[in-house]
């Protein structure tokens, strides 16, 4: 149905490009864009700058043209000039189907962004991005709203699960590769939410305040690296304000940093309902998206009036249009698709591999992998007999396979549509039964703690599944597991000393029972193949290799914002969110000493052991680090050696400067070489990256707090243009 809209015979006149590159003889995207734009009427130009959200929502009337499917965004094309319609879909974790309103349209559901990040494997991120791009194209979408790149600044942020953790290098590399994968399929990818959209509470009115230079060294660096690597066609600006100005009307950010310093050539689309006035155009916004969510269609009649009376510069409108077109042409998003079946089985393998490689073994005293001799296993909680949890909001995918289990969390309107806890039908219990035919597995929901404890006493071991739903537009007020699950785990551990905990969470959680359980596995939201991936890791069919992309704090006591700004206040209360930690996000703050955290950034155990040689470093203009890693255990496994800058000019500092995922057979070794991006050594001052001259110490480690002996080098002073 969707395909027919963009390219199908029913709507040929609407969208099929009339002037292809071959016809015009112009293949350079800038030249093509300029040529098409020059031939447009003002109405055609303005028409490309404003979109609707083609979703029928009570109270938010919108004219949805016939044939346009329910999806995040739609903008008609200009058929006479070969300009295609823009049909966009959310797609951070797979192609979405908002509130399942496109009946029967399912997609491959990847694990959450945090799971993708936890693989520390940019190649896998690229495969995942390509998989989503291929499905989008097969379904007729030419623009994807994937690419969440906000750094985790608050472990309570309800959207952290969509993002890639707390480190700029990790986030930048992973998002960049995912975008590359998507765009290679001829679909524009978007990086979002620009910028410092650090919490969902009061997301429309929260004012993120931060030193502008510190912002360059942290959240903006993640975007900068992601944009350099992936060259996304679009950037989506955020709901929040940044240092007093709305992110989508923020001239210093959009005109200054993005389009100025970075020379970004694509277009800036607004988040849905983030535009407050027509003059956002002059501040750097190119397109108003989902316009029925704004107070006005600012980029429609008011823009036309401004053009007519000369108050809006014509050149700015032309520039906005050209930016959109050049991205569409550069990526090939104007090319008609041939109806193609989706490789459902192949794509499921991508989802499975990502889940397997993203699961993090946090603690293990030797009980895992599960002994083949275990006879009676009690599995408790987390809907584990049915499936695995997913995160809520606009990134929610309707997975392939049987119908998901939906638990309504209440709420009205758009918020109500998003507030649904959705379990994908991928049962860890079923997968464990297949993997362990010798064992008797019994499942208990854990509904009655007392009854379940009695069952636990009689079993050889207990595996408790604990889940915590997170979703868009809502943060968690605390790090606690909800609905008494901490008490359930404590009771199981009290009844049976062989208790293992599997977490399905979109954020770090507190673990008051940590000392009483024998193993803890963080499975995130593991996607449509999650049940199998969890069973693979528990049984040892897969040797875990995920590493934490975020710090798990012990508590919120030392958090820069112990109470969430704006929590509990009426919606759209103006609040400042002071990011006083500056660029010292997550593990970069405090050095985040081992005793201040439950589990450090970068942490993750394996069923084998890896040995590291001494680190060697060479300095001068460019720092290069080298070390050899060996698998000293008796199983194949992958490790992620991480290189950190630990001292600069005599001062302690902690920044991830390199990482690599290395797969090794028992006894095998590999030398890893990492060239350090000078921006990771520098401070951002007076509009430049400045690498101070001096002695720099680097260390290789298994996490941000588990580091080997440092190697020192002298580095020459250097300035790098932004």
Q: Least separation, in Å, of the C-beta of 145 and ligand BGC?
A: 4
Element (H, E) at 36: helix 29-38
Sequence-distant (≥ 6) Cβ neighbours of residue 126 within 8 angstroms: 177, 178, 180, 181
Within 10 A of 295 (CB to CB), how many other CB atoms are there? 10
Comparison of 156 and 655: residue with beta carbon closer to ligand BGC = 156
- Determine the straight-line distance between the first and last CA of the chain, rounded to whole angstroms: 45
284: left (phi over 0), alpha (psi -120 to 50) or beta: left
Comparison of 61 and 341: residue with beta carbon closer to ligand BGC = 61
Distance, in Å, from the CA atom of 434 to the CA atom of 297, rounded to the nearest integer, reads 56
Within 10 A of 513 (CB to CB), how many other CB atoms are there? 23
Distance, in Å, from the CA atom of 498 to the CA atom of 456, rounded to the nearest integer, reads 10
Distance, in Å, from the CA atom of 360 to the CA atom of 548, rounded to the nearest integer, reads 7
Comparison of 272 and 689: residue with beta carbon closer to ligand BGC = 272
Comparison of 204 and 259: residue with beta carbon closer to ligand BGC = 204
Within 10 A of 54 (CB to CB), how many other CB atoms are there? 23
Determine, following the binding rule CB under 6 A, whether residue 206 of this chain makes contact with ligand BGC.
no
Element (H, E) at 451: helix 449-458
Q: Is 319 among the residues known to form the active site?
A: no
Q: Least separation, in Å, of the C-beta of 99 and ligand BGC?
A: 11
Q: Which of residues 659-698 bind ligand BGC (CB under 6 A)?
A: none
Within 10 A of 678 (CB to CB), how many other CB atoms are there? 18
Distance, in Å, from the CA atom of 642 to the CA atom of 120, rounded to the nearest integer, reads 10
Strands 206-209 and 575-578 turn out to be: parallel
Distance, in Å, from the CA atom of 214 to the CA atom of 350, rounded to the nearest integer, reads 36
Q: Least separation, in Å, of the C-beta of 269 and ligand BGC?
A: 9
586: left (phi over 0), alpha (psi -120 to 50) or beta: left
Instruction: Pick one of 75, 85, 118, 145: the residue that binds ligand BGC (CB under 6 A).
Output: 145
Please name which of 30, 143, 128 lies closest in space to residue 86, comparing C-alpha atoms.
143
Comparison of 72 and 615: residue with beta carbon closer to ligand BGC = 72
Q: Least separation, in Å, of the C-beta of 288 and ligand BGC?
A: 13
Based on the number of CB atoms within 10 Å of its own CB, is 557 exposed (0-12), middle (13-18) or buried (19 or more)?
exposed
Instruction: Pick one of 192, 353, 588, 589: the residue that binds ligand BGC (CB under 6 A).
Output: 192
Comparison of 201 and 705: residue with beta carbon closer to ligand BGC = 201
Comparison of 229 and 394: residue with beta carbon closer to ligand BGC = 394
Comparison of 272 and 424: residue with beta carbon closer to ligand BGC = 272
Q: What is the CA radius of gyration of the chain?
A: 25
**Catalytic-labelled residue, pool 90, 167, 219, 271:** 271
Please name which of 329, 333, 307 lies closest in space to residue 318, comparing C-alpha atoms.
307
Q: Which of residues 245-304 bind ligand BGC (CB under 6 A)?
A: 271-272
Q: Least separation, in Å, of the C-beta of 279 and ligand BGC?
A: 22
Q: Least separation, in Å, of the C-beta of 107 and ligand BGC?
A: 15
Cα-flanking dihedrals φ and ψ of residue 124, to 5°? -70, -35
Determine, following the binding rule CB under 6 A, whether residue 647 of this chain makes contact with ligand BGC.
no
Q: Least separation, in Å, of the C-beta of 14 and ligand BGC?
A: 23
Q: Least separation, in Å, of the C-beta of 72 and ligand BGC?
A: 4
Comparison of 214 and 293: residue with beta carbon closer to ligand BGC = 293
- In eight-state DSSP terms, residue 288 is B
Distance, in Å, from the CA atom of 401 to the CA atom of 426, rounded to the nearest integer, reads 9
Which CA distances in Å does 134 have to 206, 236, 331, 458, 518?
A: 36, 21, 13, 49, 42
Q: Least separation, in Å, of the C-beta of 180 and ligand BGC?
A: 20
Residues 376, 514, 706, 158, CA torsion sign: positive
Which alpha helices (DSSP H) does 459-573 contain, by range? 485-495, 530-539
Instruction: Pick one of 394, 498, 631, 642: the residue that binds ligand BGC (CB under 6 A).
Output: 394
Distance, in Å, from the CA atom of 691 to the CA atom of 699, rounded to the nearest integer, reads 19
Determine, following the binding rule CB under 6 A, whether residue 90 of this chain makes contact with ligand BGC.
yes
Residues in the interface with ligand BGC (CB under 6 A) total: 7
Q: Least separation, in Å, of the C-beta of 220 and ligand BGC?
A: 18
Comparison of 356 and 394: residue with beta carbon closer to ligand BGC = 394
Contact 392, 469 (CB under 8 A): yes
Based on the number of CB atoms within 10 Å of its own CB, is 221 exposed (0-12), middle (13-18) or buried (19 or more)?
buried
Which CA distances in Å does 263 have to 180, 195, 257, 320, 420?
A: 19, 17, 8, 14, 40
Q: Least separation, in Å, of the C-beta of 74 and ligand BGC?
A: 12
Comparison of 192 and 702: residue with beta carbon closer to ligand BGC = 192
Instruction: Pick one of 16, 52, 72, 110: the residue that binds ligand BGC (CB under 6 A).
Output: 72
Residues within the interface to ligand BGC (CB under 6 A): 72, 90, 145, 192, 271-272, 394
**Hey, which residues are catalytic here?**
271
């Amino acid at each position: 149905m969707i395909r027919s809209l963009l390219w199908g015979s029913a709507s040929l006149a609407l969208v099929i490009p009339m002037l292809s590159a071959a016809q015009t003889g112009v293949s350079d995207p800038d030249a093509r864009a300029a040529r098409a734009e020059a031939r447009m009427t003002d109405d055609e130009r303005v028409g490309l700058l404003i979109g609707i959200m083609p979703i029928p929502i009570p109270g938010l009337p919108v004219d949805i043209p016939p044939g346009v499917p329910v999806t995040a965004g739609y903008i008609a094309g200009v058929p006479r000039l070969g300009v295609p319609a823009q049909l966009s879909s959310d797609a951070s974790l797979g192609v979405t189907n908002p509130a399942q309103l496109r009946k029967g349209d399912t997609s491959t559901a990847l694990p959450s962004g945090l799971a993708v990040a936890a693989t520390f494997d940019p190649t896998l991120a690229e495969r995942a991005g390509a998989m989503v791009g291929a499905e989008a194209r097969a379904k007729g979408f030419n623009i994807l709203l994937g690419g969440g790149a906000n750094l985790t600044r608050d472990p309570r942020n309800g959207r952290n699960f969509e993002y890639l953790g707390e480190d700029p290098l990790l986030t930048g590399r992973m998002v960049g590769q995912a975008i590359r994968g998507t765009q290679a399929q001829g679909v524009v990818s978007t990086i979002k939410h620009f910028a410092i959209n650090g919490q969902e509470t009061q997301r429309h009115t929260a004012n993120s305040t931060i030193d502008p230079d510190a912002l360059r060294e942290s959240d903006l660096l993640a975007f900068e690296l992601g944009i350099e690597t992936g060259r996304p066609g679009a950037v989506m600006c955020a709901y929040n304000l940044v240092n007093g100005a709305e992110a989508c009307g923020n001239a210093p950010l959009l005109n200054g940093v993005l389009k100025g310093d970075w020379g970004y050539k694509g277009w800036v689309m607004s988040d849905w309902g983030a535009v407050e006035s027509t003059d956002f155009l002059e501040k750097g916004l190119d397109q108003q998206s989902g316009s029925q969510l704004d107070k006005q269609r600012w980029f429609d009649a008011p823009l036309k009036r401004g053009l007519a009376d000369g108050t809006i510069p014509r050149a700015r409108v032309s520039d906005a249009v050209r930016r959109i077109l050049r991205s569409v042409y550069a990526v090939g998003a104007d090319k008609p698709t041939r109806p193609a079946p989706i490789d459902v089985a192949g794509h499921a393998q991508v989802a499975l591999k990502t889940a397997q490689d993203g699961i993090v073994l946090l603690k293990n005293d030797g009980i895992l992998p599960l002994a083949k001799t275990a006879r009676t296993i009690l599995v408790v909680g987390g809907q584990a007999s049915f499936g695995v949890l997913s995160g809520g909001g606009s990134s929610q995918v309707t997975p392939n396979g049987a119908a998901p289990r939906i638990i309504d969390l209440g709420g009205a309107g758009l918020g109500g549509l998003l507030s649904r806890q959705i379990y994908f039908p991928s049962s860890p219990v079923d997968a464990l039964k297949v993997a362990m035919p010798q064992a008797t597995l019994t499942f208990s929901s854990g509904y009655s703690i007392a009854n379940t404890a009695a069952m636990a006493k009689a079993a050889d071991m207990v595996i408790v599944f604990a889940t915590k739903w997170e979703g868009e537009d809502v943060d968690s007020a605390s790090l606690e597991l909800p609905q008494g699950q901490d008490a359930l785990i404590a009771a199981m551990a009290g009844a049976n000393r062989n208790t293992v905990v599997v977490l399905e969470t979109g954020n770090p959680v507190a673990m008051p029972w940590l000392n009483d359980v024998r193993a803890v596995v963080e499975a995130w939201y593991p996607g449509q193949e999650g049940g199998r991936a969890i069973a693979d890791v528990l049984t040892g069919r897969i040797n875990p290799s995920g590493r934490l992309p975020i710090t798990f704090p012990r508590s919120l006591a030392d958090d820069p914002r112990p109470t969430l700004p704006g929590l509990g206040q009426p919606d759209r209360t103006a609040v400042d969110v002071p990011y006083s930690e500056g660029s010292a996000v997550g593990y970069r703050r405090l050095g985040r000493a081992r005793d201040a955290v439950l589990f450090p950034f970068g942490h993750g155990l394996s069923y084998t052991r890896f040995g590291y040689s001494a680190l060697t470093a060479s300095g001068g203009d460019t720092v290069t680090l080298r070390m050899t890693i060996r698998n000293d255990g008796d199983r194949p496994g992958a490790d992620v050696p991480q290189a950190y800058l630990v001292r600069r000019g005599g001062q302690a500092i902690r920044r991830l400067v390199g990482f690599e995922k290395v797969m090794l057979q028992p006894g095998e070794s590999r030398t890893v070489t990492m060239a350090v991006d000078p921006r990771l050594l520098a401070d951002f001052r007076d509009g430049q990256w400045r690498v101070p001259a001096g002695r720099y110490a680097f260390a290789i480690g298994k996490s941000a707090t588990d580091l080997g002996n440092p190697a020192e080098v002298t580095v020459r002073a250097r300035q790098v243009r932004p």
